[in-house]
């Protein structure tokens, strides 16, 4: 069995040596135990502006099992991960971030579950003590919110997973530009299981997910897989209309009884409130329309500048990156 490891990288020159050594070590161990016959490590450089690609180039020259892709610019983690998965040729593929917060030593356990018949093995964090109070609790509420909105997502699972070739081929059928990968695999189906682990602190370098990026990523996930926010807008609009009718009836009744309704506040504040609500929901509607706009244009998720030790009969695949559906 051939195993591929996909590792997205962005400005990770201080981490690459350590992750490469640890991944190689565990792969050699599982190979000796006959869990796999061979392996490839596919690094995807997401437009780094440090020495990441130069290091990957040296690795690929010294080791035939090392493959590398380099983007023309920074397209984002999800694009980098999807590129690595697309170019994988293995019977099973494991995706792993470069920051070493997800331990490569879990690979052996994932392979054991794969050999038991599971086609997707999710790595799930069961201990987030290393996270700050804010990040730990915001992550918990994020997963609860996603599930409430109807998004099929694995709580506390990021991108550390093993998938079979069959699952990978199914994944390639999802050609959307606004891709939220961790929401796709649960809806693909197939037999799956979870393996838990304690998340380590980042080995070196800076996090690529500050608060702004996390909020954007979370909103992307919700709007990519759920229309419930739009339904909430409709229900809230109907509720406001109902309250307005009751208020109007009360005002008319008060007028018939000979009373007046004094006050500038009672007139202006509802106008401001409803105006704000309308702007919020127009913005929400605009997010969905914007997604449609991007999908209709069918722009590539990424453009590859360099490919090391990767050959593909369709050379255009290196530059035309909207999956197989667009080439038929």
Q: Among 178, 171, 176, 160, which Cα is nearest to 222's?
A: 178
Report yes or no on 217 lying in a domain.
no
Domain count, the chain: 2
Same domain, 132 and 239: no
pLDDT of 95 over the 80 cut: yes
**Integer Cα distance of 7 and 27 in angstroms:** 14
**DSSP character for 150?**
T
Range of the domain at 239: 228-297
Asked whether residue 215 is assigned to any structural domain, the reply reads: no
Residue 320 has pLDDT above 60, yes or no: no
Residue 58 pLDDT exceeds 50: yes
Q: What is the mean pLDDT of the chain?
A: 77
Q: What are the tens digits of pLDDT across the range 22-50?
A: 999 999 998 888 888 889 999 999 888 88
103 and 232 in a single domain? The answer is no
23 lies in a domain?
yes
272 and 306 part of one domain: no
Instruction: Please tell me whether residues 94 and 67 are part of one structural domain.
Output: yes
129 with 243, same domain: the answer is no
Position 142 scores a pLDDT of 73
- Distance between CA atoms of residues 166 and 179, nearest Å: 20
**What region, left, alpha or beta, does residue 76 occupy, with left being phi > 0 and alpha being psi -120 to 50 degrees?**
left
d(CA 269, CA 104): 57
Half-sphere exposure of 39 (CA within 13 A, CB side): 22
In a domain, 223, yes or no: no
Per the DSSP assignment, residues forming a β-bridge with 164 are 92
Q: For 169-193, what is each residue's pLDDT tens digit?
A: 998 888 777 777 888 888 888 888 8
> Mean pLDDT across the stretch 45-69?
88
Q: Do residues 322 and 300 touch, judged by C-beta distance below 8 A?
A: yes
> Is 241 found in the same domain as 310?
no
Asked whether residue 144 falls in the same domain as residue 53, the answer is: yes
Q: How many helices (H) and strands (E) does the chain have?
A: 10, 8
């Amino acid at each position: 069995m051939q195993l591929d490891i996909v590792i997205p990288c962005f400005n990770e020159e201080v981490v690459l040596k350590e992750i490469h050594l640890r991944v190689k070590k565990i792969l050699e161990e599982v190979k000796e135990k006959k869990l796999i016959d061979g392996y490839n490590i596919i690094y995807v450089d997401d437009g780094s502006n440090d020495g990441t690609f130069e290091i990957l180039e040296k690795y690929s020259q010294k080791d035939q099992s090392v493959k590398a892709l380099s983007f023309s610019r920074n397209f984002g983690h999800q694009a980098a991960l999807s590129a690595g998965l697309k170019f994988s040729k293995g019977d099973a593929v494991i995706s792993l971030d470069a920051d070493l917060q997800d331990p490569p030593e879990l690979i052996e356990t994932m392979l054991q579950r794969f050999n038991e018949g599971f086609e997707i093995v999710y790595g799930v964090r069961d201990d987030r003590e290393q996270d700050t109070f804010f990040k730990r609790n915001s992550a918990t509420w994020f997963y609860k919110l996603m599930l409430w909105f109807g998004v099929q997502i694995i709580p506390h699972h990021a991108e550390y997973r093993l998938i079979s070739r069959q699952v990978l081929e199914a994944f390639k059928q999802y050609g959307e530009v606004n891709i939220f990968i961790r929401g796709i695999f649960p809806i693909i189906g197939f037999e799956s299981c979870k393996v838990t682990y304690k998340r380590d602190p980042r080995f070196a370098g800076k996090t690529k997910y500050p608060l702004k990026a996390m909020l954007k990523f979370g909103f992307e996930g919700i709007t990519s897989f759920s229309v419930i926010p739009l339904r909430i807008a409709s229900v809230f609009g109907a509720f406001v209309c109902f309250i307005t009718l009751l208020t109007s009836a009360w005002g008319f009744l008060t007028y018939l009884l000979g009373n007046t309704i004094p006050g500038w506040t009672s007139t202006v504040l509802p106008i401001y409130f409803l105006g704000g609500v309308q702007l919020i929901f127009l913005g929400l509607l605009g997010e969905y329309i914007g997604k449609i706009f991007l999908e209709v244009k069918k722009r590539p998720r990424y453009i590859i500048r360099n490919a090391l030790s990767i050959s593909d009969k369709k050379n255009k695949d290196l530059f035309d990156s909207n999956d197989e559906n667009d080439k038929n």
